[in-house]
Amino acid sequence: MEDDATPTAEPWQVMGENLDIMTGGIPWGRRMSFRVTKLEKGRVWGVQPWKERLVGDPDTGVIHGGVLTSFLDNLSGMAASSSLEKARFVSTLDLRIDYMRPAEPHREILGEAECYHITRNVCFTHAWAYHESRDKVIATAAGAFAINKPRSVESLREF
């Protein structure tokens, strides 16, 4: 394991250097083919491309709501982990998705998530999915994530 980050690097910095493997290393993430495009402390942006196999309505070609759930769940989880001072896994306690308007077929969906509050054991998140901007949102999500036991910051590279 090559080490270009100092041991004092914060989790979000290490995560930011390894955006591709953040989702590429997860079979379901690969299958959904979403990518993380940008990461700051407690804030994550991503793209969910349109794919034939993700269509939930064969008559309109619109992507299934479950794809958005996976996408926003993942982004929210990353926003939660990236907001912590120490490297820790988080696991979704619950997630609520509101479907505001249908996604348009054959268009990629942009997403962003933020962790807006942290307690000793729980991270609270908000997330948005849209085509152009948050003014015209397709779905929003509110999540709560349990913070698991600490692990080494280097282990973040092995996602």
Partner 1 sequence: MSDDLLPTRGEQVQAFLGRTPFAQEIGMRCEVMGDEMTAIMPFQQKLIGNFTIQALHGGAIAAFLELTAMAQVYLVTEHLERPPRPINITIDYLRQGHAKDTFARATITKMGRRMCSVRAEAWQDERSKPVTSLLAHFKVSGD
Q: Where does this chain bind partner 1 (CB under 8 A)?
A: 25-32, 52-59, 63-67, 69-71, 73-74, 91-99, 102
Q: How far are the Cα atoms of 6, 7, 120, 124 from residue 33, in angstroms, in the given order?
A: 31, 31, 33, 25
- The C-alpha atoms of residue 23 and residue 36 are separated, in whole angstroms, by 7
The dihedral built from the CA positions of residue 69, 73, 76 and 78, taken in this order, carries a sign that is negative
Nearer of residues 48 and 82 to partner 1, judged by Cβ: 48
User: 59: which residues sit within 8 A by CB, 6+ positions away?
Assistant: none
Question: Minimum distance from CB of 15 to partner 1 (Å)?
Answer: 16
Q: Distance between alpha carbon 109 and the CA centroid of its chain, in Å? A: 13
The smaller minimum CB distance to partner 1, of residues 4 and 112, is found at 112
Least distance in angstroms from the C-beta of 3 to partner 1: 21
Q: Which two tokens stand for residue 100?
A: 């505001």
Q: Tell me the CB-side half-sphere exposure of residue 111, using CA atoms within 13 A.
A: 31
Min CB(63)–partner 1 separation in Å: 8
| C-beta of 56 vs 157, nearer to partner 1 | 56
For residue 8, the minimal CB distance to partner 1 (Å) is 25
Nearer to partner 1, 8 or 24 (CB): 24
